[in-house]
Amino acid sequence: MTPELRGKVALVTGAASGIGRASALAFAQAGAKVAVVDVDQVGGEQTVQLIEDLGVDATYIAANMSSAAEVESMVKQTVSMFGRLDYAHNNAGISGDQVLLAEYDEAMWDTVIAINLKGVWLCMKYEIQHMLKHGGGAIVNTSSTAGLVGSRGVCAYVASKHGVVGLTKGAALEYARSNIRINAICPGTVHTAMIDRFAGNDPQVLAAFAEGEPIGRLAQPEEIGATAVWLCTSAASFITGAALPVDGGRVAQ
């Protein structure tokens, strides 16, 4: 347990699955109470159970990241349940369609941008309003290596994740003197449901993804969750506005 996180409160979006669940568990293992936010109630309540099994308090909050009212309420519910909000990992996201840009569907474009980019802005807006009144905090946004370099066939995703990096940098500068540190994590390929779907649930495609990585394997969600928690601790006290690749060397190529 990280003593400094004991008694603190973390909010994690997209916490019903994958990276978000691993992050929520990592915050709990470090001693923080956790608000588990997702549109998926079944998965969200499973995450809460896993945290409660560790002897740590958690609550499920239903909120769609593309709705300002639901995101505002998510922060209010967290504070009314646990009395404070110290850390937020704004992580919920979707991959969108896999088609070339000239064929990309306009409604899908709007949906990807609304969840992946506008959603991160909405989260920060209401989290920061609270943190400003209560002495500060730390925020981590999930971008992607697709927020640092291009990727074919996922134009809205690439645009949204580059947007998250820009938004993170701008926000970090605005609140650097308000004791609020804001960073982005840029994962490479992480073995989650999103990647299983992307690979068409084909183990050979997954193996090819792993082979294509400099490190020769996919990341596990826990490796991303641990980085999110670390960025919120005092070990990372001079880090703000960073877009940190957690990618087995992919963008070093």
- C-beta of 207: minimal distance to ligand NAD in Å? 15
Segment 233-238 long-range contacts (CB within 8 Å, at least 24 positions apart): 233/2, 233/4, 233/5, 233/30, 234/4, 236/138, 236/181, 236/183, 237/181
Q: What gap in Å lies between CA 82 and CA 252, rounded to an integer?
A: 41
Q: Which of residues 202-231 bind ligand NAD (CB under 6 A)?
A: none
Pairing of strands 58-62, 87-90: unpaired
Q: Which of residues 140-159 bind ligand NAD (CB under 6 A)?
A: 142, 144
**Contact of 161 with 146, CB cutoff 8 Å:** yes
**CB-nearer residue toward ligand NAD: 85 or 140:** 140
| Eight-state DSSP code of residue 8 | -
One residue of 187, 225, 245, 248 binding ligand NAD per CB under 6 A: 187
- C-beta of 236: minimal distance to ligand NAD in Å? 19
CA distances from 136 to 24, 59, 120, 133, 139 (A): 20, 22, 18, 8, 10
Interaction between residue 14 and ligand NAD (CB under 6 A): yes
Interaction between residue 115 and ligand NAD (CB under 6 A): yes
Q: Which of 60, 87, 126, 157 is an active site residue? A: 157
Structure tokens at 133: 């009144």
**CB-nearer residue toward ligand NAD: 86 or 247:** 247
Stretches 89-97, 101-109, 199-207, 230-238: which one binds ligand NAD (CB under 6 A)? 89-97
Angle between helices 155-175 and 119-133 (to 10 degrees): 20
Size of the site for ligand NAD (CB under 6 A): 28
Interaction between residue 195 and ligand NAD (CB under 6 A): yes
Verify whether residue 175 is a known catalytic residue.
no
Q: How do the residues of the chain divide into helix, strand and coil, expressed in percent and rounded to 5?
A: 55, 15, 30
**Residue 30 — φ and ψ, nearest 5°?**
-85, -5
93 to 112: interface string for ligand NAD, x by CB under 6 A:
xx------------------
Q: Which of residues 16-75 bind ligand NAD (CB under 6 A)?
A: 16-20, 38-40, 43, 64-66
**CB-nearer residue toward ligand NAD: 81 or 210:** 210
Which residues in this chain contact ligand NAD in the complex, by CB under 6 A? 13-14, 16-20, 38-40, 43, 64-66, 91-94, 115, 142, 144, 187, 189-190, 192-195
- Active-site positions read 157
